[in-house]
Structure 1
Amino acid sequence: MNLDAQIESDGNMEYKIVLIAREDGEINDIALQTELAPGIARYMMGLGEKGGYCPKNFDWKWSVEKNQDAVWTGDVNAGLQLRFYDDKYERPLNTNFYHQKPLHMPVSWCNDGNGGIKLTTTGENMLVNAYSGKRAVKKGDRLYYYFNVLVTPFRTINTDKQWHDRYYHGYDFIDKTHDFGATVVNIHHATGINPFINYPFLRTKEMKAYIDGAHALDMKVKIYNTVRELTNSCVEIFALRSLNGEIFSKGKGGGYSWLQEHYDQDYIAAWFAYTVKDAAIVNTGVSRWHNYYMEGLDWLVKNVGIDGLYIDDLAFDRMSMKRVRKILNRTNPGAMIDLHSANQFNEKDGFANSANLYLEHFPYLDRLWFGEYFDYDMPPEFWIVEVSGIPYGLMGEMLWEGGNKWRGMIYGMTGRNPGYGVDNRPLWNFWDEVGLKGSEMIGYWVSDNPVKTGKERTLATVYRKMGQKAVISLATWEDQDAEVSLQIDWAKLGLDPAKVTLHAPAIENFQPEKTWKPGETITVPKGKGWLIVVE
């Protein structure tokens, strides 16, 4: 047996085990087994399961139809992801294109479909058994059992940063965006200063002028730029096409007429922005194009002044993300990266969980934006695992149809301006008026949360300023209005119940003004909630 292993500061552990047969023989099983301590395996995602409570017993088998090679299980303050692969691993395509370049089934772990993963509850512990089953080996055969371990969370959440960094996802006059109250602007592709997808080098003078104007107003500007696909306006496009599939994935062609006329075949048509007639084709997983991407990013930070990246699903590996983060930090230590992902849990994407798929990148991100097709009517256990980012040390925003602002505030989340008519200004004003910055977030998932509802589907998160005030965020997942009488541990808030009121100030398009006395019943409207100031 040969073992090569390393551990890094971000919680990533990589193990590469090579087993070499000394003689012909039959093997009953080769497996990796680990046990999670009591209370850790509260939630789970991966292996065909949506984020939620961890089942007591679970059995999964390898299948090339599924973009599934990892499982995360844990709680907010402790969790573990295990990912399994071998020496032939290549990053598959994602976001609508998985089946055109699916996972390579690891010969070791998969073993012609005999391998799988079992979760078994033993007393208070959870046993994880990644097995490969019976097999015959010949003398000299080598089996490559590789696996990665990620320990979560990667850091503590930074709520003050969440309250301060106010995003506007749109290209507009910078004075208008500043007056709106935003502090961070994301410039998407197919816009005046960034028209061509993943090739932001043809309007750099205009982009720099815009960014300089934003910096003068103490605002930051991030741009859409990744490597999942590449515009037909790329100057080097035909040179890259000549590299025989190294840079671009091969496929059936089609798409926008220009692509068919100039590329003929052997490509996968990707995004088409009709407003600027920008047509893209799909890149391969990892290639030398990543080096170009890194050098281009370095040039943009130094010469154009960008403040980070908006990444629309990830098509590069963890090592590339580390390089991106280092490039940004060297020149602009305050630069930010936010990750958007459409929900990958569908047939086209191999029923992958976005958070599980990209978890190795999370130590280097500043915010999540999940995303198209995420169902915000899913229960709280789905929110905490797949939407909020909190178990991994991140916070996020909602996208699809604007999200649910009442449930979002349970996790410190809003929608993102201005899509789907989202206007966060009333909430931003409330945050400032009550002084949410500097408060301590105590979520409903914390066992000794000082405010409890006594309900399973109506929950309370507290933003506490000890001895001064508290903001209680209430939201319900009930099928009807919920009646709750809050159970408050006043000592943990540092407040005297005889001297306080529970006041919900009027917040436009969120709640009317209302006041309660301690102990009075609060009606939480179906699908909504309250922000209640206690002082």
Structure 2
Amino acid sequence: MKHLLLYAFVACIGIGCSRNMPQAPYTYAVAETPWNESLGNHRAVLAVNAPAEVVKLSFDWRRPDKEVEKRRFLIVEAETGDTIRNIQRLEVNNERCEILFGPVKKKGTYFFYYLPYQVQRERGYYSLGYEPKEEDPDKQWLAVTSSEVSGGQLPEVTVVRVESRTHFDSFYPMEIAASAEEKANYRQANLGRFLVFPEDRSNPVRMKTNVPYKWLQGQERFSFKGVAQPNEYYAFQLGVWAGDQTLKSVTYETTCLKSGNNVIPAEAITCFNINGVNPKGKPFTKQVSVAPDAVQPLWFGVDLKTNQPSGTYKGVVTLKDETGYAVPVEIELEVSGKMLADRGDGEPWRHSRLRWLNSTRGISDKPTEGYSAMSLSDNRVSCLGRTVSLDMQTALPSSINSWGHELLASPIRFVIRTSSGEKNLDGTLELSGESEGKMSATWKAEDEEIALVCNGTMEFDGWINYVYTVTPKKDLLIEDVRLEIPMKSDAAPYFMGLGLPGQETPTNYSGGWETPGKTEHDYAVSIPTSKSASWLWPFDSFWCGSEKAGIHCELRGASYTGPLLNLYRPAYPVSWYNEGKGGFRINRSGNQTTATVYSGERFLKAGEELVFDLALLITPVKKANSHSQFTDRYYHSVEYPIPGEENLKSGVKIINVHHANYLNPFINYPFITADKIKDFADEWHGKGCKVKIYYTIRELTNVVPEIWALRSLGDEILQGGKGGGAPWCREHYVTDYTPQWYQHLDDLHLGVAADASVLTATGDSRWYNYYVEGLAWMVQHTGIDGLYLDDVAFGRDMLKRMRRVMEEVKPGCLIDLHSNTGFSRGPAIQYAEYFPYVDKLWFGESFMYSEMSPVNWLVEVSGIPFGLMGDMLHGDGNKWLGMQYGMTVRQPWMTDGVVCDPQYIWKLWDEFGIMDSKIVGFWEKNPAVTTSDKEVKVTAYVKDGKTLLSIGNYSKAKKLVKLNIDWKQLGLNPSSVRMQAPAVTDFQEACEFNPSGLIPVDPKRGWLIVLSESM
């Protein structure tokens, strides 16, 4: 695990590659000491032989980046630092640069910086750029120059060497491009539909539209030689350079590799670009095409056995295109040395972790920790705390009981209506799969117009999925396809989704996918949870219920892969959306509240399949762990990951190591500093704390050693885009990427100026497989205790896999989930399917806590209706109202210049013993305490002999309220009760009240009052 960063850079710049051939027209080097970053990442070291008014530079720089002619040129005298005033451009393009400059006053060394840029030190998204072109030369100097040019030969400047600021910035050797003339000459001498260039793993192929200069300098093209160790997963490349025609399909065949009687079977060799395993564990084959004159690297892996005998193994890998044109490459792999116990994973330059892309680890139907095996009895399917009774004629739930509470008023309906009316399709139900964690069945029905097939699944966490395939037997006008969920009104007081924030369920509501809905209700519905009130809550899902029981419904498409949120903005499901004709209705009438999703009119041709996918989640998904909420206190800081003694004294038990600090500097790739994380975890485990890290998927840092192998997979893992962003990305990725989070790094020991990430892809991305294996590796090798997730977009299957691998390696690991309302537009709705596998929520970035209604707090922020609890975030939250839900902020998070410090409330928790109390919220059907004003709420934390009351005023006016106390529920004798508000710094002054008297409550504030029986 030592020196991971060095290994990463070795892999990126090609140190250790063969030096027996010319790899570039100049000497390439890395600066002994990095120069000022604003000068750019590249320079040429020039030798001027004598003072002159004007000198000429001819530099074959062979650049891979774009718009080279738009960048500023800066020439500096090395000894004095003086800049040359006048630069005249003669020819500037990607291949070469020819300029005149002067006057040069002395003989000596000069530096030519040709990519200076504006350094952005603020984290976020890189918004600056390269410096604009230099000023035009002085007219008088131009006149002198013109005279000297016409007078004869100009003094020539010599390029002594080409330098990069750091190893990580270097173009050498794989981004030194061959010229057009060199390519044409080479092609003329080496005919074929495509050429193949074997390449060691230490020199990842980088350029997509340029050929490396080194390839055309006599490199062996028909054989590859490598050295491996037993049990190593050995990686190498075959670079394909297409001719003047598109290669529509490049495939490969391989023989076994033999050394005497010993064999590496052909099945042990795979090409990651062509063969893989998707995140659901299903093998697939990709079609690889190559545009004319483009370069496509193919990455291969050889799986060596633990006891692979030493020897030189030989075989052949043959590449073919769709015409049958074939290029065989002889493979010679020398196996020797000690067995690699970790397959090579501890040294990322080996690229052995590429096999993680095809991992199936964690894929199982077995229930995760805390969940019980499912049971099936007649038509009833049960999981932890919940039972679903199925209508055997429709396969849909006729009853949903959650933790002893019935939700449905009548069976759920999936309705198809044509001109002949609503279809009454009674079908047959057949069980198709049964295990302790998953039940599956298929339902089929048809009539003279339509055939309908439904594949249904229920899993151990209370998740139910129905996938309907509607196939007309003739050309057919379908007037509507809709889903109706009729719930008992007393079981459905709250609603969230379909364009609405968390609130009381509307009496009537109707809306479309892209337009605000209209409501009729006794309560206001425009609750400003976020800073931007114009944002609408998600249209693809909704939740209806109470803190006791509820149903979350998500409308999905055939290509559903995860929540409809954040950077990815996936398309609406075609079937439900129906070009904007689909929509939603809520009707609350008497004892029944019905949520209806309709798709509207459409015409289908005979045999044209239409898929309606929907998922239900029965809530709460588990029992909330209030003891953990009050004892497992979080320390969470970006810049300062190490808690102080004062944090330990206040009860911090869990440390979240964010990214962008010295422990975890690179976003979503913690492996580089794994040694530091391990040392940190070991230290804090010794002090009784757990350590979790920021490690997600949405964006990926540029320091990943396998980044070029990932780029070779097209848009499977790294999403395409218009490029731009940080200079490093522009200089090396060049095209086809979307820049994301940027963090400037001041630690020179890291060898990188900035953590510049790009957007990753969703769907069947094999990076999910890599991520799961990476999680297991981090838990095992560093001892971390789980993850902090920040706005991700993979599906619930990933959460299950993550849970399983953590339980496998280290039981007791934790996951907490963060989301920004302004980013994901309703995190409680979007992430509901994650909740069975999450231990704690941290929703609140961009939340306006003091503007939210009690129901909005309960439904959208607290997590309580889903079996979770959470912390506040933005601007120190609202400490008075937050206590209504057992919520505080985290030490020492800072937002809007406010440092969060809940230590004084935590101290009261400890003094009272809140962790052993029973929470009786104001939202209960029979709350323990109410007030004389409906805008002032009370949550009671009840213990034997005493109770802590959280009083909160949600209005904008000061209130005087009287408490209505159910003394029996509190177990207290009113005649001997003392009512004290203890002093809590930054919260309240000490005060004593009379239980029958009036209590003043300031707007948007409240009290913490202890009721106890006097001795």
1:82-481 alignment to 2 at 5 Å?
A: 82-91=553-562, 94-95=565-566, 97=567, 101-170=568-637, 171-174=640-643, 176=645, 177-275=647-745, 277-286=754-763, 287-344=765-822, 352-377=825-850, 378-419=852-893, 420-466=898-944, 468-481=945-958
Q: Distance in 2 between matches of 1:159 and 1:234?
A: 39
Structure 1, residues 374-429: CA drift from partner, whole Å, max 9, x if none?
11021111111111111101100111101000100000000111023111211111
Determine if contact 1:174/1:210 at 8 Å carries over to the other structure. no
Determine if contact 1:155/1:393 at 8 Å carries over to the other structure. yes
Structure 1, residues 89-140: CA drift from partner, whole Å, max 9, x if none?
3447743x2xxx4332323222222211211123221112211222222111
Q: Distance in 2 between matches of 1:315 and 1:24?
A: 38
Structure 1, residues 30-61: CA drift from partner, whole Å, max 9, x if none?
21112011212211111211111121111122
Match of 1:247, SS state, is: coil
Which has the bigger relative contact order, CA under 8 A and spacing at least 6? 1
Structure 1, residues 240-279: CA drift from partner, whole Å, max 9, x if none?
1121101112222111111111111221111111245211
1:490 maps onto 2:967 in alignment: yes
Q: Distance in 2 between matches of 1:228 and 1:509?
A: 38
Determine if contact 2:936/2:953 at 8 Å carries over to the other structure. yes
Letter in 2 for 1:192: Y
Gaps of 5+ in 1: none
Q: Distance in 1 between matches of 2:921 and 2:845?
A: 25
The structure whose Rg is larger is: 2
Gaps of 5+ in 2: 1-451, 516-535, 747-753
Query: Shift of residue 315 of structure 1?
Result: 2.1
Q: Distance in 1 between matches of 2:830 and 2:691?
A: 27
Query: Shift of residue 86 of structure 1?
Result: 2.5
Q: Aligned in 2, Cα 1:92/1:54: closer, same or farther, shift over 3 Å? A: closer
Q: Distance in 2 between matches of 1:269 and 1:142?
A: 38
1:507 maps onto 2:984 in alignment: yes
Match of 1:240, SS state, is: helix
Match of 1:5, SS state, is: strand
Query: Shift of residue 172 of structure 1?
Result: 4.0
Determine if contact 1:63/1:105 at 8 Å carries over to the other structure. no
Determine if contact 2:960/2:1000 at 8 Å carries over to the other structure. yes
Query: Shift of residue 484 of structure 1?
Result: 0.9
Letter in 2 for 1:61: G
Match of 1:183, SS state, is: strand
Q: Distance in 2 between matches of 1:372 and 1:253?
A: 28
Match of 1:462, SS state, is: strand
Query: Shift of residue 196 of structure 1?
Result: 0.4
Determine if contact 1:88/1:104 at 8 Å carries over to the other structure. no
Match of 1:295, SS state, is: helix
Query: Shift of residue 332 of structure 1?
Result: 2.1
Query: Shift of residue 316 of structure 1?
Result: 1.2
Letter in 1 for 2:929: V
Equivalent residue for 2:496, pick from 21, 26, 45: 45
Match of 1:310, SS state, is: strand
Match of 1:396, SS state, is: coil
Q: Distance in 2 between matches of 1:529 and 1:470?
A: 16
Match of 2:977, SS state, is: coil
Query: Shift of residue 175 of structure 1?
Result: 5.5
Determine if contact 1:344/1:354 at 8 Å carries over to the other structure. no
Letter in 2 for 1:211: A
1:59-70 alignment to 2 at 5 Å?
A: 59-63=510-514, 68-70=539-541
Query: Shift of residue 365 of structure 1?
Result: 0.5
Q: Distance in 1 between matches of 2:822 and 2:622?
A: 25
Match of 1:329, SS state, is: helix
Determine if contact 1:152/1:392 at 8 Å carries over to the other structure. yes
Letter in 1 for 2:729: L
How high is the sequence identity, in percent, across the aligned residues?
Answer: 41
1:510-529 alignment to 2 at 5 Å?
A: 510-529=987-1006
Query: Shift of residue 150 of structure 1?
Result: 0.8
Letter in 2 for 1:319: D
Determine if contact 1:314/1:358 at 8 Å carries over to the other structure. no
1:12 maps onto 2:463 in alignment: yes
Match of 2:724, SS state, is: coil
Determine if contact 1:183/1:220 at 8 Å carries over to the other structure. yes
Determine if contact 1:230/1:282 at 8 Å carries over to the other structure. yes
Q: Looking at secondary structure, tell me which structure has more strand per residue.
A: 2
Determine if contact 2:790/2:819 at 8 Å carries over to the other structure. yes
Q: Aligned in 2, Cα 1:83/1:92: closer, same or farther, shift over 3 Å? A: closer
Q: Distance in 2 between matches of 1:107 and 1:52?
A: 29
Query: Shift of residue 306 of structure 1?
Result: 0.4
Match of 2:741, SS state, is: strand
1:30 maps onto 2:481 in alignment: yes
Letter in 1 for 2:633: R
Letter in 1 for 2:877: G
Query: Shift of residue 78 of structure 1?
Result: 1.2
Letter in 1 for 2:942: R
Match of 2:682, SS state, is: helix
What TM-score results when the alignment is normalised by the length of structure 1?
0.95
RMSD of equivalent CA atoms? 1.7
Q: Distance in 1 between matches of 2:555 and 2:793?
A: 19
Q: Distance in 2 between matches of 1:5 and 1:452?
A: 44
Structure 1, residues 306-363: CA drift from partner, whole Å, max 9, x if none?
0010001122110001101111122222211001101147xxx5xx311101110011
Letter in 2 for 1:531: L
Determine if contact 2:563/2:794 at 8 Å carries over to the other structure. no
Letter in 1 for 2:849: Y
Q: Distance in 1 between matches of 2:694 and 2:546?
A: 32
